[in-house]
Amino acid sequence: MRLNEQPLLTAAQIEARIAEIAREISDRYAGRDPVLVAVLKGAAIFAADLMRRLTVPACLDFIRARSYAGTESQGRVRITFLPEHSLEGRHVIVVEDILDTGRTTSAVLDCIRQQNPASLVLCTLLDKPARRVVPVKADYTGFRIDNLFVVGYGLDYDERYRHFPDIRTLEE
């Protein structure tokens, strides 16, 4: 695998887009206290930056779903870590790093729906619509990207590259 030195999305682009999304979310949830449920591990960095831009008193929780080995989807999704707090009656915002086939996110959304939240929306930093197998639509999307494997800003290739402040592509 070859890592492109040239970012697909620079740290400045990411920061500016997150500020826009945070304004939209803050407007929509004015007077409420939503719960951000970040999908571990990839969305941890996005959720941290998004949360700091919100002007509503949001709570933070986490869920973990596993489906990937290397760059290949195994097609199966296991929820291996659940939010600590009850989501019943809460306004839940699921925070994802990337929507790819949609399998992971749809399993996460199904799992959270079982807890009867008052409302449920999906906020993803990246969307690769060309790869969708399960129909999932995000309410907030940072960037739509082509069918490329990307790393950085929380996204990894076998646990590497999450620390990059920008997003870069990996090529065969």
Let me know: does 49 contact 38? Beta carbons within 8 Å. Answer: no
Q: What angle do CA 119, 94, 145 make, to 5 degrees?
A: 125
Instruction: Tell me, yes or no, if 100 is annotated catalytic.
Output: yes
Residues that contact ligand XMP, how many (by CB under 6 A) = 19
Does 156 help bind ligand XMP (rule: CB under 6 A)? yes
Output 29 or 36, the one with its CB closest to ligand XMP.
Answer: 36
Does 101 help bind ligand XMP (rule: CB under 6 A)? yes
User: Token pair of 152, please?
Assistant: 């950085």
User: Token pair of 170, please?
Assistant: 């990996």
Among 97, 120, 125, 168, binds ligand XMP (CB under 6 A): 97
CA atoms within 13 A on the CB side of 22: 19
- Catalytic position from the list 27, 33, 100, 146: 100
Pairing of strands 168-171, 72-81: unpaired
Let me know: does 96 contact 109? Beta carbons within 8 Å. Answer: no
Total length of the chain: 172
Among 42, 83, 142, 154, binds Mg ion (CB under 5 A): 42
Output 42 or 83, the one with its CB closest to Mg ion.
Answer: 42
Let me know: does 123 contact 139? Beta carbons within 8 Å. Answer: yes
Output 29 or 62, the one with its CB closest to Mg ion.
Answer: 62
Q: Among all residues, which ones are annotated catalytic?
A: 100
Q: Which residues bind Mg ion (CB under 5 A)?
A: 42, 97
Q: Which residues bind ligand XMP (CB under 6 A)?
A: 42, 67-68, 73, 97-105, 149-151, 155-157
